[in-house]
Amino acid sequence: MAKGSLSVFFALIMTAVMGLIFTMGECIRLYELNDFAQEYTDMAVESALSEYNPYLWANYKLLAIDLGYGSNSKGPGIMEQKTLDYCKYNSSVESGHNFARLTADSCMIQDYTLLSDNNGAGLMTLGVKAAKEGLATQVIDGIQSKVDSINNIEKVSVEDKAKSGKQSLEEAKAANSAAKYAAEHDDNPDTHASDYPDPVEVEENPLDIFEILKESFSKSVLSSVTDVEKVSDLEMDIANAPSHRQLQSGTMDMESSWELTDKALYIDYLITNFGYFGNSKHDGMKYEVEYLLSGKHTDPQALASVVEQILLVREAANFYTITHTPSLEAQAEGVAMAIAAFAGNPAIEGIVKSGIIAAWAYAESTLDVRLILAGGKVPAVKNLDQWTSDVWHLAGVTNVNYMAKDCGGGIGYKDYLIAFLALRSNETLSMRGLDILENALNSTEDYKDVKVDNLLLAANVRMGYSAEEMFLSLLSSVTPDDVMDSYFLEKEKFISY
């Protein structure tokens, strides 16, 4: 049997060759370590990103991470630890596929953006993204048409005109009564009490009905136009709401330049995902859109504020209808002549006529609002066929069940909300939107401690890794003492919803 032998020269050559092979192996491994580090970083960060608050997504179509994870903890500390745990799991030999022996050592969220940053710009950003699932052009055109149909109506101070007409009539009556008294008691043979006829009293004076309606409206707006038993009575703690307290801020700058398209999409998002009268959806306050418009911290107050805004629009529209419809204007003029003819003063008759038209417009508007709150629609500006009330018989308007005729088309409650939203600033809608989100979250047992200024939208995450030498360690006896025996790597990942 032949015996093997190895020369010294060949042994030296083999040592050099093995050193080259191990060095090449270590270089390849180092290259792979970078790839593995980035892969583990991406997997860990995306896993952390998947832990968004489920309530916000299910109810408001918003993706955001509660940095407290249901607790009172503030800041990104818990998320950093969770991300590191995900990374350790993925890079573990037992649970992952870490053949390169890479160890996850640290996680730091360097910069991050919160939902409440920059006056709630994050809410608008996410809202616009959610609304983009629809057709932007249709959304813009639809919203603009509703805004135009309401804003194109010339505003009229109906209340001032009605009060002016009432005051002029009362002053004329007082002057007539004084003149009649003087004629009865003076010695002038040329003056007679019969020269001053008594004012005619109509059965249902529109100016008197206006005062009754106005007083009822001032005492309880909602009881004048709807069944108050069906109105929500919930409220929020406004003193501790996001719009009224000092908020913590993220460390990342957030751009917030908005265009018309963005505003239209944001309004579409709000009206689609927030609740309002007749369409309540969530925990906490029920009239969320009404709160966005008014800032009132109770449901009844918020609804009453919107009702008043609708009434003002309807007053102006109905005043226009009367003054531009000859038959309606003639009826108002007939009432004015009947109750003011005694004065014999055309100027007074004109003021009284204007007051009656205003009172009539107010009464018709009350009927309109009742129909709108009941789910009906009213044309932006009515015509004669669409008119409901009778100027000679307005007392029936005090009955809350009496409402305008439903013409089958026009502007409904939701349309008015959309138009009013378009008139509010982005900052106002966003900050009040944060109030609504936090109120809804805190009204549940699971999310009672969640704060909107602790909800993360975007972050820049840095992961730290270490690894020991593998192939070169086999040559430790033949390599210099200053050869590096450990590697340290850092990888970054930007995440956002």
Residues 27 and 146 in one domain: no
Q: What is the pLDDT of residue 128?
A: 86
**Final residue in a domain of this structure, among 363, 390, 411:** 411
Helix (H) or strand (E) holding 478: none
* Residue 223 vs residues 109, 336, 373: alpha-carbon distances, Å: 54, 30, 12
> Where is average pLDDT lowest: 249-263, 346-360, 437-451?
249-263
Decide if 336 is inside a domain: yes
**Final residue in a domain of this structure, among 386, 411, 436:** 411
pLDDT beyond 90 at 346: no
- Percentage of the chain exceeding pLDDT 90: 29
Q: What is the pLDDT of residue 83?
A: 92
Decide if 463 is inside a domain: yes
Residues 314 and 188 in one domain: yes
**Final residue in a domain of this structure, among 359, 380, 411:** 411
Residues 29 and 115 in one domain: yes
pLDDT in tens, 446-480: 999 999 999 999 999 999 988 776 655 555 554 44
Decide if 435 is inside a domain: no
pLDDT in tens, 197-228: 656 566 667 777 777 777 777 667 787 788 87
Q: How far apart are the first and last CA of the chain?
A: 74
Residues 138 and 217 in one domain: yes
- pTM for this entry: 0.80
Look at the chain and count its residues: 497
For residue 66, what are the β-bridge partners?
455
For the chain, how many structural domains are there in total?
2
Q: What angle do CA 364, 368, 373 make, to 5 degrees?
A: 150
CA–CA gap between residue 423 and residue 457 (Å, rounded): 27
pLDDT in tens, 149-166: 666 666 666 667 667 666
Residues 296 and 192 in one domain: yes
Residues 170 and 206 in one domain: yes
Produce one character per residue of 301-336: b if its CB has 16 or more CB atoms within 10 Å, e if not: bbbbbbbebbbbbbbbbbbbbbeeeeebeebbbebb
Decide if 269 is inside a domain: no
Residues 299 and 156 in one domain: yes
Decide if 272 is inside a domain: no
Give 60's pLDDT tier (boundaries 50, 70, 90): very high
pLDDT in tens, 230-281: 888 899 999 999 999 999 988 887 766 677 778 888 998 999 899 999 888 8
pLDDT in tens, 383-408: 999 999 888 888 888 888 889 988 88
Give 483's pLDDT tier (boundaries 50, 70, 90): very low
pLDDT beyond 90 at 30: no
* Residue 204 vs residues 37, 216, 396: alpha-carbon distances, Å: 85, 17, 10
Residues 36 and 92 in one domain: yes
261 contacts 140 by C-beta, under 8 angstroms: yes
Decide if 298 is inside a domain: yes
- What angle in degrees, to the nearest 10, is found between the helix axes of 346-373 and 326-340? 130
Decide if 279 is inside a domain: no
Residues 139 and 99 in one domain: no
Q: What is the pLDDT of residue 356?
A: 85
Domain residue limits at 231? 134-236+284-411
Q: For residue 195, with 0-12 CB atoms within 10 Å meaning exposed, 13-18 middle and 19 or more buried, which class applies?
A: exposed
**Phi, psi (rounded to 5 degrees) for 267:** -65, -40
DSSP 75: S
CA–CA gap between residue 255 and residue 253 (Å, rounded): 7
Residues 100 and 144 in one domain: no
Decide if 169 is inside a domain: yes
Q: What is the pLDDT of residue 271?
A: 92
343 contacts 401 by C-beta, under 8 angstroms: no
Find, among 335, 348, 330, the residue nearest to 169 by Cα: 348
* Residue 385 vs residues 137, 360, 379, 382, 416: alpha-carbon distances, Å: 34, 16, 11, 8, 23
Residues 96 and 143 in one domain: no
